[in-house]
Chains A and B, each alone.
Chain A
Amino acid sequence: MTLFWIALLPLFGSLVPAFTARRGRRECSLATAVLPAIALLLMLFQVPSLAAGEVLRFSVDWLPSLGLDLAFRLDGLTLLFNLLILGIGLLILLYAHFYLSADEPFGRFYAFLILFMASMVGIAMSDNLILLWLFWELTSLSSFLLIGFWSHRSDARKGARMALTVTGTGGLALLAGLLLLGDMVGSFDMNVVLESGEAIRADSRYPLMLALVLLGAFTKSAQFPFHFWLPHAMAAPTPVSAYLHSATMVKAGIFLMARLHPAIAGSELWSAVVALVGTATLLYGAWFALLKTDLKAILAFSTVSHLGLITVLLGIGSPMAVLAALFHILNHATFKAALFMGAGIIDHETGTRELGKLGGLRRAMPITALLMSLAGAAMAGVPLFNGFLSKEMFFTETLATPVLGGLSWLLPLLATLGGILSVGYSLRLVHAVFFKPPKLTPPKPPHEPPRLMHAPVAILVALCVLVGLFPAALATGLLELATEAVLGEPLDFHLAIWHGVNLPLLMSLVALGAGVASYLLHPQLRRMIRSFRPVDARLVFEGAIQRLARGSEATINRLDGGSLQRYMSYLLLAALVTSGLGLAGMPALTGELGNQPLDPVILLGAGLLIFGGLGTVLTHRHRLISLLMLSVVGLVVALTFARFSAPDLALTQLSVEVVTMILLMLALFFLPQRTVRESSPMRNLRDILLAGALGAVVASLNYAVLTRDNAPISGFFIDNSVPGGGGHNVVNVILVDFRGFDTLGEITVLALAGLAIFKLLNRLRLFMPHSDGEGRVWSPDRYPMILTTISQAILPLALLVSAFIFLRGHNLPGGGFIAGLVTAVALIMVYMSRGVEWVQQRLDFPYQPVAIAGVAVATLTGLGSWLFGYPFLTSSFGYFELPLVGEFELATAMLFDLGVYLTVVGATLMILANLGKLTTMHRPTKELPAATADPASKEKR
Chain B
Amino acid sequence: MESLYAITTGLLSACGLYLTLRGRTFPVVVGLTLLSYAVNLFLFSMGGLTTDGAAIVDGPTTYADPLPQALVLTAIVIGFAMTAFVVILAMRARGEMGNDHVDGRKHDDGEERR
- Enumerate chain A interface residues (CB-CB to B < 8 A): 562-565, 568-569, 572, 593, 595-599, 602-603, 606, 609-610, 613-614, 616-617, 620, 623, 626-627, 630, 633-634, 637, 640-641, 643-649, 652-653, 656, 659-660, 663-664, 667-668, 670-676, 678-679, 687-688, 690-692, 694-703, 705-707, 710, 712-714, 717-718, 721-722, 728-731, 734-735, 739, 742-743, 746, 749-750, 753-754, 756-757, 760-761, 764-766, 773, 811-813, 817, 821, 904, 907-908, 911, 915, 939-940
Contacts and interface: CB of A to CB of B under 8 A. Distances in A.
A670 B70 CA distance: 35
B30 A649 contact: no
B80 A656 contact: yes
A649 B18 contact: no
Nearest to A643: B51
B contacts with A: majority SS: helix
A714 B65 contact: yes
Interface in B67-114: 67, 69-70, 72-74, 76-85, 87-92, 94-95, 100, 102-103, 110-114
A610 B17 contact: no
A916 B67 CA distance: 36
Contacts of A692: 14, 18
10 contacts: A610-B11, A673-B114, A691-B15, A695-B13, A710-B46, A712-B65, A729-B55, A750-B81, A753-B85, A760-B89
Given A649-B69, A699-B11, A731-B70, A620 B30 contact: yes
Nearest to A773: B114
B17 A756 contact: no
A73 B89 CA distance: 56
A765 B94 CA distance: 10
Given A678-B23, A712-B65, A705 B74 contact: no
A764 B95 contact: yes
A668 B1 CA distance: 37
A610 B8 contact: yes
A676 B113 contact: yes
A616 B22 CA distance: 13
Contact of B17 (A644, A663, A690, A911): A690
Given A664-B30, A731-B73, A753 B64 contact: no
A649 B85 contact: no
B79 to A, nearest CB: 8
Contacts of B80: 656, 659-660, 908
Given A672-B100, A714-B67, A729-B56, 17 more contacts: A565-B103, A572-B21, A597-B1, A613-B11, A620-B22, A620-B27, A644-B51, A672-B111, A679-B23, A695-B10, A698-B13, A706-B5, A718-B57, A739-B70, A743-B74, A757-B84, A764-B95
A764 B89 CA distance: 11
Q: Which of A595, A706, A939 has the most CB of B within 10 A?
A: A706
Contact of B18 (A617, A652, A671, A730): A617
A718 B72 CA distance: 17
Contact of B8 (A609, A626, A940): A609
Contact of A757 (B64, B85, B111): B85
Contacts of B24: 672, 675-676
Taking each of B38, B69, B110, which has the highest tally of chain A beta carbons within 10 Å of its own beta carbon?
A: B69
Contacts of A672: 24, 26, 100, 111-112, 114
B46 to A, nearest CB: 6
User: In this complex, which of A603, A613, A694, A728 has the most chain B Cβ atoms within 10 angstroms of its Cβ?
Assistant: A613
A765 B49 CA distance: 48
A660 B25 contact: no
A641 B37 CA distance: 11
Contacts of A713: 67
Contact of B83 (A610, A663, A734): A663
Given A645-B53, A647-B54, A734-B67, A664 B87 contact: yes
A645 B94 contact: no
B81 to A, nearest CB: 4
Would you call the interface of chain A mostly helix, strand, loop, or mixed?
helix
B8 to A, nearest CB: 5
A602 B88 CA distance: 36
Contacts of A663: 83-84, 87
B49 to A, nearest CB: 5
A728 B15 contact: no
Contacts of A620: 19, 22, 27, 30
A698 B110 contact: no
Contact of A695 (B14, B37, B91, B111): B14
A706 B52 contact: no
B70 A568 contact: no
Contacts of B52: 645
A632 to B, nearest CB: 11
Nearest to A715: B63
A749 B69 contact: no
Nearest to B38: A698
Contacts of B84: 663, 753, 757, 911
Given A671-B25, A710-B48, A746-B78, A766 B94 contact: yes
Contacts of A812: 56
Given A620-B19, A702-B6, A940 B26 contact: no
Contact of A565 (B14, B72, B102): B102
Contacts of B54: 645-647, 813
A749 B78 CA distance: 8
Nearest to B66: A730
B15 A613 contact: yes
Contacts of A731: 55, 66, 69-70, 73
A667 B55 contact: no
Contacts of B34: 613, 616, 630, 633
A698 B47 contact: no
A614 B15 contact: yes
Nearest to A630: B30
Given A596-B2, A731-B73, A746-B74, A756 B21 contact: no
Nearest to A670: B91
A620 B15 CA distance: 11
Contacts of B25: 671
Nearest to A669: B91
Contacts of A703: 2-3, 6
